[in-house]
Copies of this chain bind each other. A is one copy, B any other.
Amino acid sequence: MVSIKRLMGNLTEIGEIGKSEEGGITRMAFTEEFYTAQKKLKALAELKGYSTHVDRVGNLFITYNPGDCKKYIMMGSHLDTVKNGGLYDGALGVFSALEVLDSIREDKIELNHGIIVVVFNAEEGSEMGGTFGSKTICGRNNLEDSTFPEKIGTYGLTLDDVKSSQMDFKDIEAFLELHIEQGGILDSEKLDIGVVKGIVGIGRYDVILKGTANHGGSTPMKLRDDPMKKLPAVIEKLYEVAAKYPEPFVMTLGDIEVSPGMYNIIPQEVRLFIESRDLSEDNIEEFFGEIKKFLENSGFKYEMVKSIGNSSAYLNEDIMKDIIKGVEQEGYTYKVMSSGAGHDAEEISHLIPTGMIFVPSIGGVSHSPKEYTNEEQIEKGARVLFNTLLNLDKRL
């Protein structure tokens, strides 16, 4: 039986390591705060009688396998945070998984699988991008990238550390991750649980509008070649085309840079930083394709440059059913939805059947000290994780 008291006790005792006076938590990957929290968690797990292991890139594995089963189910999340982040992003998934383990042990539930709770390092951004810990155990880093050795060197890691941390997944039959939603859908629709069907892909393009820099005082309006004047049409087009796609499609114009960028100089260049996310990678490419076509026909002087493209991932439909069953066992409300943020589960989903459970983020806020999920919601999430694990264990 899941104990919300024990879960919250562990979450606040270990999960608050890195907390500042203002309430934000800074426990970034590879820092002292991260390793302090990890060591404390490792010691706690050993005290409970679980076996532990830390790999060479800083991921912690806590294993419970009293029946000496040959096959495993893995669950977990990450323990690192962004700078001045919240208590729940990552840590909630870690301590919920630990709580499920404790409940199984306490209730002496016999399973057909050994259980591994994984505590990832470097899910948030580092020199190597996001989800580095999970990427590494999946062998999904791009080792051909000539800058990679230097990047991992920043954290004292070698290529050998990375290669030796790759895991063999042949005996691991499934992965489960509980995470805060980081969006406002569950909160605004007053729902308990999000059953994640997929993690969106990401496309990023820059549009650079070009003109001719000149003196803003002595150049009459009619003699200007001013790229700023073209900006409204481009922004309006972005929102207009974005509105055509149904959820979970999103488009963000997160930044604009003006060059040279002075009150009294007509700009030479205006650069727009555009991101789009969707479960459908086709939609992302189609969206940017339509923007490109608009620019081609606009008569504007411009450049359009692709910045990054990340693939989307669909999660396992059978595990989604296990989760929904686990929700219905408790009589909770739920919604099948996609994740707009990246997660460790996305990496692992490319290798083994993977499922993800969302709990509400109040106000949709995350990566902020204001990040919050209340105890009742956490308890519901942990119970669903518990039920899902048992459902999975029986089914597989």
Taking beta carbons and an 8 Å cutoff, which residues of A are in contact with B?
181-185, 188, 200, 202, 204, 214-221, 223, 228-229, 231-233, 235-236, 239, 242-243, 247-256, 258, 261-267, 270, 273-275, 277, 307, 339-342, 364-367
CB pair B251–A217 under 8 Å, yes or no, is: no
CA distance A323 to B68 in the complex (A): 103
Q: Are A364 and B218 in contact (CB under 8 A)?
A: yes
Distance in Å: Cβ of A338 to nearest Cβ of chain B: 9
Contact call A252/B265, Cβ cutoff below 8 A: yes
Taken together as a complex, chains A and B put the C-alpha atoms of A262 and B365 apart, in Å, by 16
Q: Which of B184, B262, B263 contacts A223 (CB 8 A)?
A: B184
Q: Which residues of B contact A216 (CB under 8 A)?
A: 250, 252, 254, 275, 277, 340
Seed contacts A231-B235, A254-B258; 12 additional CB < 8 Å A-B pairs: A182-B215, A183-B215, A202-B217, A215-B340, A216-B254, A217-B339, A221-B243, A228-B253, A229-B239, A231-B232, A252-B264, A254-B266
Q: A17 CA to B219 CA in the complex, in Å?
A: 28
- Nearest to A366 among chain B residues (CB) is B215
The answer to whether A219 and B184 touch across the interface, beta carbons within 8 angstroms, is yes
Chain B residues with CB under 8 Å of A267's CB are: 253-255
Given contacts A219-B183, A221-B243, A265 and B261 within 8 Å (CB-CB)? no
- Chain B nearest CB from A313 CB (Å) reads 13
Residue of B188, B223, B229, B262 near A183 (CB, 8 A) is B223
CB neighbours of A239 from chain B (8 A): 229
The docked-state distance in angstroms from the alpha carbon of A231 to that of B228 is: 11
A255: which of B233, B243, B251, B262 is its contact (CB, 8 Å)? B262
Could you name 6 residue pairs across A and B whose Cβ atoms are closer than 8 Å? Answer: A182-B218, A216-B252, A223-B364, A232-B233, A254-B263, A255-B263
A264 neighbours in B (Cβ, 8 Å)? 202, 252, 254, 275
| CB contact under 8 A between A219 and B340, given known A232-B231, A232-B236 | yes
The answer to whether A250 and B263 have CB atoms under 8 Å apart is no
- A-B pairs, top 5 by smallest CB distance, nearest first, are A183-B218, A216-B252, A232-B232, A217-B340, A218-B340
Nearest Cβ in chain B — how far from A225, in angstroms? 11
B254-A261 in contact (CB<8A): yes
